[in-house]
Amino acid sequence: MKIIEIEGLSVKYHNIEALEGVSFEAESGDYIGIVGPNGSGKTTLIKAILGLVQFEGSISFQGKNFSDWALSRHVGYLPQKVSFLDKSFPATAKEIVLSGVYCCKKFPKRLTHEDYAAAEETMSALGVINLKNRLIGKLSGGQQQRILLARALVHSPEVLILDEPTVALDPQSREGFYEIVEKLNREKQVTILLVSHDTGSIGKYASKLLYLDKQMIFYGTFEEFCKSSKMTDCFGPGQHIICHRH
């Protein structure tokens, strides 16, 4: 089933084209790695999908118009470079996770026993329940990312959007994070859209790659990416290195 359909998506900032004529579809249960060079429009694409920037073209979710789809209930979002550098930031890890439920509620916003149970269940699934009473600012970068992932997942979204979620993590934490996301996709059938600058690493996990350079240069499986003449033109010999690592 098609969960997201994008047709002719274009975005301009001060009359400068950031994205031009991007069209693709995401099926329910897809894991799409969104890759491309710096300034290629990856984050702009995510912002358009989330309704954070004005755009031309169309975006529909499960066949419904963009404006008619309740994003907060259906989509989990982990933005780029979120961290709590202040070690005394006055919120525990569990309170941060609960904020992912709170933002989806209608007025009057009240947390229920079920919400607290959902927070603990999500934290347990991600292996961070032991951190629930610790201040978020006193956790390591990898621990913070798992808490923020729990916040994005606590309301059981159908789509999870992640923008460079591993950029500040060490290699071991990065690999662990990718494995958690892959498991969510495989076992829970959560549709994943993950922005990354690391084509080789994301190729290990994603079912499809979307390569952007202000326009859509490629969309298909990693195997098709490795055989694509367009991508050979972009990468030259570097493409073979990426595919060999996979």
How many other CB atoms sit within 10 Å of the CB of residue 40?
A: 20
List of domains in the chain: 2-245 (3.40.50.300)
**246 confidence band (pLDDT: 50, 70, 90):** low
For 144, list phi and psi in degrees, rounded to 5.
-60, -40
Query: Rounded CA gap, 124 and 114, in Å?
Result: 15
Looking at residue 95, its pLDDT comes to: 95
pLDDT in the model for residue 228: 78
Return the closest-CA partner of residue 111 out of 101, 121, 120: 101
Q: Taking residues 96-125, what's their average pLDDT?
A: 88
How many residues does this entry show for the chain? 246
- Mean pLDDT, range 83-111, rounded to an integer: 82
Query: Which range, of 102-111, 138-147, 155-164, 217-226, averages the lowest pLDDT?
Result: 102-111
Burial code (b: 16+ CB inside 10 Å, e: under 16) for 172-211 equals ebbebbbebbbebbeeeebbbbbbbebbbbbbebbbbbbb
Is the pLDDT at 190 greater than 90? The verdict is yes
User: What confidence category does residue 241 fall into, taking pLDDT thresholds of 50, 70 and 90?
Assistant: very low
Place of tokens 């919400």: 115
Is residue 144 within a helix (H) or strand (E), and if so which, with residue range?
helix 141-153
Q: Where are the beta strands (DSSP E) in the chain?
A: 2-13, 16-27, 31-35, 56-61, 64-65, 75-78, 159-163, 191-195, 208-213, 215-220
Chain centroid, CA 48 distance in Å: 13
Residue given tokens 């033109």 in the structure block:
233
Token pair 């429009």: residue: 41
Q: What is the pLDDT of residues 2-53, one digit of tens each?
A: 899 999 999 999 889 999 999 999 999 999 999 998 899 999 999 999 888 9
Q: What tokens does 16 get?
A: 């400068």
pLDDT at 96 over 60: yes
Angle CA 81–87–93, to nearest 5 = 70
Tell me which residue of 124, 197, 119 sits closest to 151, measured CA to CA: 119
What average pLDDT is seen over the chain? Answer: 86
Mean pLDDT of 118-127: 92
Q: Which among 184, 1, 157 is positioned nearest to 71, based on CA atoms?
A: 157
- Give the global pTM: 0.86
Q: Output the pLDDT for position 45.
A: 95
Distance separating alpha carbons of residues 132 and 138, to the nearest angstrom: 12
